[in-house]
Amino acid sequence: MKKDTAKKRNRISKTGIAALVVLCILIVAASFISGGKTFTDFRNAWFGTNNQEVKDPTIKVGIYECLSGEFKQYGKEEAAGIELAHDLYPTVLGKNIELIYADNRSNIYDAKQALQELMSQNPTFIFGSYSDTLTLVASDYVVAANTPAMTITSINPLITANNDFYFTTSFSMAKQGAALGEYAVNGLGKKSFATVKSLRDDSSSAFVRRFRNKVGSLIEGDDVFKANLSVDTELGDYKTWIQQLKDGNVEAVLLAIPPAAAQVFMSQAKEMEYFPQFLGTGDWDTKEFEKYIISNPELSVSYPSVQAADTTSTYTLFTEAYYDKYGENADPPSGSMATAFDAYLIMLKGIEDAYADLQEVDMEKIKEEAGTDAKGRALVQTYETALQTGIPAGVHIRDAIKEISDFEGATGILSYDGNTEVNKTVTILHFFKGTKMDPYTVEDDKTITGDDTPLTEVEEIQN
């Protein structure tokens, strides 16, 4: 009986000691925090920092893409470009990069669930998605998590307009229009133009407007544009408009309409023996559309492309890696794959530059300026965690990418100049008599100005 009582007292004694230890820890923690210290300071002081999770973590990078569904062909091409770059550069800052996938299945409903699952894994960076709409779905998620993201081929201006964490890798529709206008005048020597856009599509208005502004700045006169038309692409009969353009001897016709509609338009023009220089949008930059042009050698066609002009060492690196992986007889890589390759390299540089900036940080000054309110403590915690793990926070990577300038990529020279929208050289593809000619490169035109609002009803009707 006495023996049992002793055991009981021993248990009580151990319980009391444990409670006392917990109480001491709480008191010390309270004193740290009340004194302006952070939880990280307390944890390091009490438990130390020598643990593997903190010392050598893996950097997780999300691929939010259309890996199934309607757009899977395009989503998989973008993912393949990221994977190709990852094959060459699987680490950064001495840490492994793990690619984690989120399939949005090409629709906004599955996209939300895919994003929730992706964000629960706390990725350091996110790529994707193909489709402007699916990219916009991700907007609130990346802002809420302070996670930088980069779309490969989506170019809707709303992606970057109200989002300080979403970057683009492809040039905007407006820049495409300005570049195409320069090429049409200086590269092709055309002097009379017409523009054609879809009746119910305002998304191409900036493209048409910048094209007209650029052409107007290079050619004097009020009769440069013979017609500015809006057509109903759902009807699929363009013969009335084509006859008008033919009668007006228009040399170059800008078709700001989808590729399928453009093929019908050009085929009908061919039947009517009208062969102007056709100019299109970057949406035409697909292998299927290229096959159509080559199989119709009577047509002369030009449009912007995300493909590189074969001028950079990074392009050589990209193509060599591509054929090493897929074989010498593989089809040429797509422009979107090359753009995705660039996006991954930009991410690497952003992480490396952000880490270099962290090494110059004066933590005492940051603590002093941050203050002791919740926002200030969160800011300090962000820096301390980044320094402890060796992985820059999302805000640090974002700020570093904004400062990237004159970066030599596979698709040209990329700069961000303090913004999230890329400035880069624009490549124009030109097809003549069924042959793909040498590409024409237009440097980013920062001097182009003008109203990007939709064309007025008067401007859109037939002249």
* pLDDT 10s digits, 16-65: 555 554 455 555 444 444 444 443 343 344 334 333 334 457 999 999 99
Distance CA 76, CA 152 (A): 12
Residue 3 lies in a domain: no
CATH at residue 449? 3.40.50.2300
pTM of the model: 0.74
- Residue 381 domain-assigned (yes or no): yes
At 283 the three-state DSSP class reads: helix
74-78 long-range contacts, CB within 8 A, separation 24+: 74/130, 74/131, 74/153, 74/336, 75/106, 75/128, 75/129, 75/130, 77/334, 77/336, 77/337, 77/340, 78/127, 78/128, 78/129, 78/130, 78/152, 78/153, 78/336, 78/337, 78/339, 78/340
Angle, nearest 10°, between helix axes 374-389 and 363-370?
A: 160
> Quick one: 370 and 283 in the same domain?
no
Q: Which pLDDT value is given to residue 1?
A: 47
User: pLDDT value at position 174?
Assistant: 81
Question: Do 250 and 156 fall into the same domain?
Answer: no
In a domain, 98, yes or no: yes
Residues 301 and 441 both lie in one domain: yes
Name the E strands within 104-238.
125-127, 149-151, 166-168, 193-198, 225-231
Pair 80, 128 in one domain: yes
User: Are 267 and 351 within one domain?
Assistant: no
Spatial separation of the C-alpha atoms in residues 401 and 399, rounded to whole Å: 6
**Same domain assignment for residues 243 and 291:** yes
**How far is residue 92's CA from residue 169's CA, in Å, rounded to a whole number?**
21
Q: Can you read off the two tokens belonging to residue 426? A: 């624009």
Residue 30 lies in a domain: no
With CA atoms as reference, report the closest residue to 154 among 89, 62, 71, 85: 71
Angle at 348 between CA 347 and CA 353, to 5 degrees: 100
Question: 54 in a domain, yes or no?
Answer: no
Task: Give CA separation, 313 vs 12, 25, 98, 171, 309, in Å.
Answer: 73, 58, 26, 21, 11
136 with 183, same domain: the answer is no
For residue 396, the one-letter residue type is H
Domain membership flag for residue 24:
no
List the chain pLDDT tens, one digit each, 463 residues.
444 544 444 444 545 555 554 455 555 444 444 444 443 343 344 334 333 334 457 999 999 999 999 999 999 999 999 999 999 999 999 999 999 999 999 999 999 999 999 999 999 999 999 988 999 999 999 999 999 999 998 888 889 988 999 999 988 878 889 999 999 999 999 999 999 998 877 668 888 999 999 999 999 888 899 999 999 998 899 999 999 999 999 999 999 998 999 999 999 999 999 999 999 998 898 888 999 999 999 999 999 987 665 568 998 999 999 999 999 999 888 888 999 999 999 999 999 999 999 999 888 888 888 888 888 888 899 999 999 999 999 999 999 999 999 999 998 889 999 999 998 888 899 999 999 998 888 875 543 333 333 333 223 323 2
Burial 423-452 (b: 16+ CB within 10 A, else e): bbbbbbbbbeeeeeeebbbbebbeebeeeb
Q: In 3D, which of 414, 415, 440, 418 has the Cα closest to residue 429?
A: 440
Residue 331 DSSP class: P
183 shares a domain with 148:
no
Omega before 139 cis (within 30°)?
Answer: no
151 and 199 part of one domain: no
Rg (CA), the chain: 28
Residue 456 makes CB contacts below 8 A (sequence gap 6+) with none
Per DSSP, 70 falls in state T
Residues 434 and 293 in one domain: yes
Does 197 lie in the same domain as 294? yes
| 65 plus 195 within the same structural domain | no
- Tokens, residue 98: 């793990």
Residue ranges making up the domain that contains 158: 59-170+307-424
Distance of alpha carbon 239 from alpha carbon 237, whole angstroms: 6
**Number of separate domains in the chain:** 2
The pLDDT of residue 8: 46
Residue 41 lies in a domain: no
Q: Is residue 34 part of a domain?
A: no
